[in-house]
Amino acid sequence: MISTEQREALIQAAIDARKQSYSPYSKYAVGAALLADNGRFYTGCNVENVSYGLTICAERTAVVKMVSDGVRHIEAIVVCTENAGSPCGACRQVLAEFAGDVPVWLVDANGNGRETSLYTLLPDHFGPEHLTIDD
């Protein structure tokens, strides 16, 4: 369970991360902040590329930073956009790789928005628990 103080700090971290966005093509800046099971926040922003397919979303940037620190589980997620937009499908799937049905806050640049959950955003999700591996 995430505390009110952690939630507010996580929201602020996503707002601050959004300010680092490199989004000259879409003009749609995104920031993300993850609370990991080690108690640390991992943040990311979207980084666009003129070759659009090479763009990386804020959520995936934060996940990559978390995993590169050796951490593998997300406890809560905040995504900050101009209009409290929702993560794309690819980001939802990547988040599901490292999280259960965790709380997700979708907020605007002022921290206003709504709370949902990862499995609400990605119903009938597909995760590592669905694979059967024969040894």
Q: What is the pLDDT of residues 22-62, one digit of tens each?
A: 999 999 999 999 999 999 999 999 999 999 999 999 999 99
What are the backbone dihedrals phi and psi of residue 75, each rounded to the nearest 5 degrees, phi first?
-100, -30
* Residues with active-site annotation: 59
| CA–centroid distance for 41 within its chain | 11
- What is the chain's length? 135
Give the pLDDT score at 125.
87
Give the pLDDT score at 135.
62
User: Helices 4-18 & 58-68, crossing angle to 10 degrees?
Assistant: 110
Distance CA 42, CA 47 (A): 16
pLDDT at 134 over 80: no
Kind of pairing between the strands at 74-80 and 31-36: antiparallel
pLDDT at 91 over 90: yes
Grade residue 127 by pLDDT with cuts at 50, 70 and 90: confident
Domains of the chain: residue spans and CATH: 4-130 (3.40.140.10)
C-beta separation of 99 from 118 below 8 A = yes
